[in-house]
Amino acid sequence: MAVCAFLGDEVSSLGFRLAGVQVYRPEPQDVRDLFLRLRNETPLLILTAEVASALPPELLRQAELDPRPLVLVIPDARNRVAAPDLVVEVRRQLGMAE
């Protein structure tokens, strides 16, 4: 079992691979199946915002709310798709959103 898995573009994957993380660069049509499989195989799943945009929004939202595995959405190296604003997300989760 991998300790951490990363789903993202080639450029973003380079640093994660150097750190010993299991890296995947899925095609958009393969993202959902790979995401579901990795949720059962790793305690930490990191994906770029671009990859996350290929997932059904409700599936991603539920995965982010589940305690395991920890799912993190980060910006990709080229910043083609904006990552969620974590401050806004935390405030919304705590019921403090404006």
Q: Where are the domains of the chain?
A: 5-93
Tell which wins on pLDDT, 76 or 5: 5
43 Cβ neighbours under 8 A, 6+ residues apart? 3, 4, 68, 69, 70
State the CATH class of domain 5-93. alpha beta
pLDDT at residue 2 above 80?
no
Of 42, 95, 57, 51, nearest to 77 (Cα)? 51
| pLDDT single digits (tens) 26-63 | 999 999 999 999 999 999 999 999 999 999 999 998 99
| pLDDT single digits (tens) 66-93 | 989 999 998 877 766 666 665 666 676 6
* Model pTM score: 0.78
